[in-house]
Amino acid sequence: MPFSLEAKVALVTGAGRGIGCAIAQALAAAGASVMINDLDSEPATAAAASIPGSAHLAGDVTNPAFPQHLVDATLARFGGLDIIVNNAGYTWDNVIQKTSDDQFQAMLDVHLTAPFRILRAASAHLRDAAKREAAAGARVMRKVVNITSISAGGNAGQAGYSSGKAGVIGLTKTLSKEWGRYNVNVNCVGFGMIQTRLTQPLTGAGASIRIQGREIAVGVQPQALEAVKTACPLGRAGTVEEAAGAVLFFCSPLSDYVTGEVLICGGGMHF
């Protein structure tokens, strides 16, 4: 069944590179106008340059004031908001006895609190639009997709990340019940091992990302990557395009009667 997202407006966080960029590209290819957010201005600008008709706004989604600014900027630029994909995130792992309060809180802030604030900021627009449409005898479905992980089921060394990703499932299921009356589908996509800079093999060079002045090591031990491939029924890590495909389903009319669900895109691996 073909579908089009023509005249739809999407907001995707963490869309400067990796999975987020692939999601933005898939939405734009289906006809949507896309607001691209990323922490860093350079990848946000580059992603927007590669997607015709898109716009970008760099900024930190964990800054308490930024989510409202991001939603307002999207509405000002495109005149509406139909699809929200809360994708921004990163891992900062350690066993619990070596995890600081700041480290644990950072994972909750980016994976759970930021999506909460973005959705709260968008709530007035979503409610008002639904009421206007109902008064006119129309039903227009809108979409929220929150990104979780198979780590939401628990993963050694990821107390903070797993807690944040489990929490966003609860947020998703709650909003699916609150926002059904406004014709908003609220769902989760949970990723397994997807090939991104965060899951690249660790090397002696020690790859890292810079978040709020901190240098955080990223990557996975090569033996752990091989173990995942062995455990995965499909025998490999997924591509960012495959990850984006699962999100696109929840953003499309194909999911108009699906809400409060978690779709695992993990090659057969689960919680």
- Per-residue pLDDT tens, the chain, 271 aa: give them: 589 999 999 999 999 999 999 999 999 999 999 999 999 999 999 999 999 989 999 999 999 999 999 999 999 999 999 999 999 999 999 999 999 999 999 999 999 999 999 999 999 999 999 999 999 999 999 999 999 999 999 999 999 999 999 999 999 999 999 999 999 999 999 999 998 887 777 765 667 788 888 888 777 778 877 888 889 999 999 999 999 999 999 999 999 999 999 999 999 999 8
Q: Report if residue 1 sits inside a domain.
A: no
Domain limits for position 72: 9-196+236-265
Residues 6+ apart with CB under 8 A from 257: none
Within 13 Å and on the Cβ side, how many CA atoms surround 71? 23
Catalytic choice (90, 161, 182, 257): 161
pLDDT for 87 equals 98
Q: Which two tokens stand for residue 269?
A: 């691996």
201 occurs within a structural domain: no
Q: Quick one: which H or E segment has residue 171?
A: helix 159-179
What's 62's domain CATH number?
3.40.50.720
Is 93 inside any structural domain?
A: yes
User: In 110-267, which ranges are continuous DSSP H helix?
Assistant: 114-135, 159-179, 222-231, 240-251
161 is catalytic: yes
Please list the alpha-helical segments (H only) found in 79-113.
Answer: 101-108
Residue 270 lies in a domain: no
The pLDDT value recorded for residue 115 is: 98
Note whether residue 148 is domain-resident. yes
Residue 179 within any structural domain of the chain: yes
Q: Is residue 205 situated within a structural domain? A: no
Is pTM beyond 0.85? Reply is: yes
Question: CA-to-CA distance for 80 and 177, rounded, in angstroms?
Answer: 23
| Residue 21 domain-assigned (yes or no) | yes
Task: Please state the domain count of the chain.
Answer: 1
